[in-house]
A and B are shown apart, each in its own frame.
Chain A
Amino acid sequence: GAVVSQHPSRVICKSGTSVKIECRSLDFQATTMFWYRQFPKQSLMLMATSNEGSKATYEQGVEKDKFLINHASLTLSTLTVTSAHPEDSSFYICSADPGRSYGYTFGSGTRLTVV
C-alpha cells in the first residue's frame, strides 16, 4: 500500500514551453502533497506544499508564477513549470503522507531537461 505515482518519468522540452508533471496517490487520499526539486548529488529541496482545494504554499525563494501547482482532487496534484529555461532542468519529485506510521511516500520522480 501507500503508492504515489508520478508522470512523466522523463521529459525533454524546448526553452520557453511549459511542462506539466502529475502526482497521484493510488491507494490513499492525500489532502496535502509536497513537491521537491533535487539537483545531482544534492539534497531534496522543498518547493511547495500542495493543498487540496486551496492555494499551494510556496517556500521562500520559489517563484509562484513559474511553478504552478494545482491540487484539484484528493488523489491528484500537478506541477506545471511555465516558460521553462535550461536552469529549470532538474529532478522533480512529489511526496504524500499516507499516515504516520508509514512515513512519507515519494513518487518516482520526473527528470526534466530543458534544451
Chain B
Amino acid sequence: QQPVQSPQAVILREGEDAVINCSSSKALYSVHWYRQKHGEAPVFLMILLKGGEQKGHEKISASFNEKKQQSSLYLTASQLSYSGTYFCGTERGGSTLGRLYFGRGTQLTVWP
C-alpha cells in the first residue's frame, strides 16, 4: 500500500533546488504532500487530485502524472525553513477512499 519515495535524503545549500519523487504501483485518486519537523505533527503542503494537475505554493510546487501514478515535489531556491522530512501520502479510490498511505519520507537538510 505504501508509495515509494526517493531520494531518502537530500542536503542542500540555501538557494538550491530539490526534487522529491513519489510513485505507486496502484491507481491513485490523490496525492498529498506534507512536511514534518522533528517531534512535530506533519504540516499539509498541497494536494493533487487525479487528472494530472500541477500546483504551486510559493516556491514549492508539485505535479501528478496520473498515467504513471507518480508525483514530484519541487522545492526551488530553498530556505533554511524548508528543512524537515517530506512525506507523500497517497489515496486510492474504492473502499479505501479517504485513507492516506505514506511513503518512507525524504529528509531534507538546508545549510546556510
Number of A-B contacts (CB under 8 A): 53
Chain B residues with CB under 8 A of A54: none
Which residue of chain A has the shortest Cβ distance to B103 in the bound complex?
A43
SS of B interface (majority): strand
Chain B residues with CB under 8 A of A102: 44
Taking Cβ atoms with an 8 Å cutoff, the residues of A that contact B are 32, 34, 36, 41-46, 49, 93, 95, 97, 100-109
B101 beta carbon closer than 8 Å to chain A? yes
CA of A93 to CA of B105, assembled, Å: 16
Chain A residues with CB under 8 A of B26: none
* Closest-CB distance, A54 to chain B (whole angstroms): 14
Tell me whether A104 and B105 are in contact (CB under 8 A).
Answer: no
Chain B residues with CB under 8 A of A34: 99-100
Tell me whether B98 and A103 are in contact (CB under 8 A).
Answer: no
Select A43's contact among B2, B32, B41, beta carbons within 8 Å: B2
* Closest-CB distance, A32 to chain B (whole angstroms): 6
* Closest-CB distance, A89 to chain B (whole angstroms): 15
Interface 0/1 of B36-51, CB less than 8 Å to A: 0000111111110100
* Ranked 3 nearest A-B pairs via Cβ: A103-B44, A106-B41, A44-B102
Tell me whether A43 and B98 are in contact (CB under 8 A).
Answer: no
CA of A36 to CA of B42, assembled, Å: 12
Q: What are 25 pairs between A and B in contact, CB < 8 Å?
A: A34-B100, A36-B102, A43-B2, A43-B102, A43-B103, A43-B104, A44-B87, A44-B89, A44-B102, A46-B1, A46-B99, A46-B102, A49-B98, A101-B47, A103-B32, A103-B34, A103-B44, A103-B47, A104-B32, A104-B89, A104-B100, A105-B44, A106-B41, A106-B42, A106-B43
